[in-house]
Chains A and B, each alone.
Chain A
Amino acid sequence: MEVYLASPWIPRELVEVHGLVPRGLFCAPAFGTATPRMAEGVCSFAQQSLELARTHCGQDNAVVFGSSCDQMRRGFDLVGEPQKTNVFLFNLPATWQSDAAQHLFRAEFERFTRFLERLGGRRQADESAATIIDGARDARAKLRSLWNKLRARGFAECIARFHWDGRAIVEPASDANADAGVPVAVVGGPLTQAQLVILDAIESAGGRVALNATETGERSLGLETPFPGRAAGSTGGLARFFFSRIIDVWQRPNTRLYAWLRERIEERNVRGIVLWHHVGCDLWRAEAASLREAFGLPILTLDSEQAHSDRPRLAHRIAAFMEILK
């Protein structure tokens, strides 16, 4: 059975440990290709997740939503009765500095385990489980190291492939020129396969994506954590391992995101930020001013509606932004 995960912060390794197939819903090839029927104020990503979830549930697969935003929580409510369908809402705590948040994540981790068992999953022996977790950790580390070795689309596709099937396959030849183009960071929500044209447009306009900090980019690989899978054999240890790697805008405070960004923006000499958000996503849209203040860099805000319906204008805006940065 395939288990579709709507957030990169839901531990895919745990699904695999239970003998089921984890898939990043946000990396589904169909994601972002159709024009969703949108009600006013609905986040386009949440709406598309909801529609894909209905499709997958209808095919006897399972779908796991994350509680990290109001729109996804409410999207989950619309899929159906949790007890009668293969849908699950993983309660991701917004706070992260308190014991209560740690306890909550651990409790959700255990509840998720029970859900996987209800789906027919069986936890593998500790040794096999540790191999899976260590393997995923190594794959993430390998992918992280590729940020300057591939072109933006290639890097994003590698990460998407990892979220889709767990593999970290990289073409042997490097195709990126680390010195070419104006280094920019793309920061924001999920960038689906159909929306990778934005990365192409940046490069075509003379930019270089030095940091893909979208929810499906380098950031989705999470923080490097000191806990190896083998050492994190206990449930509590594993829960800490998965909880501690989350870096996202919805965390309160979201200082962890800013610290992660700062390290890379400075290290990679980023000269401008492209803020990417889905229409209706308040959490990312609200960050534009804070990002500008925090990093003192020019910001270009792009949304999913422009990417879908007005590509010439999108390309012009990106080109103009690159001109300014040059």
Chain B
Amino acid sequence: MKHCLLKPLSLDAWDDRYRELVQSGLIDPFYGGPLSRHVTASGDHRLERLRFDSSPAALRLWNFLLTENERLRQARAAGDRLVGAMKDLGTVPVMAFALKGLRAFYPDGTWWTPCLMEETDCLLPKAEALGIDASFCPVRAMLAAFQDGGHFPRPDFLICSAGAVCDDFSAIAQRLEKLGFPVLWWEIPRRRAPEPGETHSVLPGGMVTARELVDCVREELARVGKALAELAGQVPSDAIWKEGVQAANHVRGLLAELRRTVYRAPVPPLPAIEMLIAEMLAIHYCSDREETVAVLTDLLDEARRRLGTRVGVVADDAVRVFWVNPVADLRAMNLLEEWGGCLCGSDFMFTHAMDFIPENMPPLEALARMALADPMVGPAADRAARVVREARAAKAEAVVVARIPGASHSATEGRVILEAMRHALGIPGVEVEIAPVCDAMQPTLAGRLQALLETARARRMKKP
């Protein structure tokens, strides 16, 4: 029996839908409202080109995402201290949110602002004027946002991981410090397999690394924890960090269930773009841990309901695509579905932020292991192995590696991942570079993605 196809909505159509929902008794959260207000109030013009899921759960998700800066300002006004965590994508916020009165966010997230505002914000040219030109990753937008103070509120405290991180990010963060924003740097060493006879530790996600690296990161996180606790006016303790780990695992559990429900479904019940945003909530809870739980719960309920009633968001014959790396332009996720694909799995560069943090060991030890499971901290081959494993489980028919313009890791990792996929699964793959606003390159993108999807379809016919 075929699935009922639920079409996505344009921004205008969402306004009509919003009125209907309100009339039928929709209870909006405190950050709720029609989506189009983000265009008029914040200049998020890209929303006019995006297609959205039509559920109230998706509305809540988008409103949650698009009000983050506003909510951060409100939190500060209410007395909270703001922590800007940079680069580690998922570790420091677990600790910050465990302390009363602290709220963490990633200034790195500004890399989507030029996309959302269709570059009307001029953050990228401003970053260039500050010495970081277009040959660097779009995360350079963060630099200009710090300087002009018009996007996110300036954090009270900045923490950045250093060591096995992207060169472009490290360089931008260093530039930030030179511009007068002090940074607490902590070491994340490159992950490596243990040598024969060397003591080892198992990491979330199943990788194994040398014990001494875990010790190093644990020691560093203790230093970070001490600084955070000082900011919060508290005394750091394992009990505090344990609460942070448990709360993180609650979020991760919901997300794991959502991913299982959507990615394992024969036809996905939620679109790719909403899944990308939902996954992002894992890294710092979009600055509100409790609300993240509510948002994810709504999405999961919606996905289950649709699954039960055989409602999908793409055609039954959509090609199942495993996606690697986040896209600088969110529109790319819409295009994948418009051209006949669907998302069946992902590695948006923060798989470690979705793995369960072990609770059967001291919390800083567990967090150190989690930090070392970061796919960007180790060899591309490790990342490729996980992509292969998850793509196999998701019955992926094709893989897309999104190149992040100017990112140091993008120069070589795509080839490693695609080769591993071809070798292990024999499925086609393609690497595509996606600019913050990809309209100009859409014909090229269409050529490459549509060819990939056609190749994957042709393989179906060849199978006995």
Contacts and interface: CB of A to CB of B under 8 A. Distances in A.
A107 interface: yes
Interface size band for B: 35 or more
B177 A41 contact: no
B170 A94 contact: yes
A77 B416 contact: yes
A69 interface: yes
B164 A67 contact: yes
Nearest to B215: A103
Interface in B233-264: none
B223 A100 contact: yes
A89 B172 CA distance: 25
A85 to B, nearest CB: 14
Contacts of A324: none
Contact of B185 (A78, A253, A280): A253
B168 A111 contact: no
B167 interface: yes
Interface string A49-77: 00000000000000000010111011101
B212 interface: yes
A99 interface: yes
A91 B190 contact: yes
Which of the listed residues B175, B215, B219, B411 has the most CB atoms from chain A within 10 Å of its own CB? B411
A252 B178 CA distance: 11
A231 interface: no
A59 B429 CA distance: 35
Nearest to A290: B178
Interface string B345-389: 000000000000000000000000000000000011100000000
B393 interface: no
A283 interface: yes
B220 interface: yes
A114 B198 CA distance: 11
Contacts of B409: 70, 74
Contacts of A288: 131
Interface string B175-208: 1011000010111011010011000000000000
A288 B190 CA distance: 27
A301 to B, nearest CB: 11
Interface in B150-182: 160, 162-168, 170-175, 177-178
B446 interface: no
A70 B170 CA distance: 10
A82 to B, nearest CB: 8
B175 A282 contact: no
A111 B211 CA distance: 13
B216 A103 contact: yes
Contacts of B416: 77-78
A99 to B, nearest CB: 7
B410 interface: yes
Given A77-B381, A293-B178, A252 B167 contact: no
Contacts of A104: 187, 189, 212-213, 216
A25 B213 CA distance: 27
B130 interface: yes
A227 B386 CA distance: 46
A286 B411 contact: no
Contact of B411 (A41, A252, A283, A289): A41
A285 interface: yes
Interface string A234-255: 0000000000000000101110
26 contacts: A42-B412, A70-B165, A71-B411, A73-B164, A74-B408, A94-B162, A94-B170, A95-B186, A98-B219, A98-B220, A100-B220, A101-B187, A103-B219, A252-B170, A252-B174, A253-B177, A281-B167, A282-B135, A282-B136, A283-B167, A285-B135, A286-B136, A286-B168, A289-B130, A289-B132, A290-B178
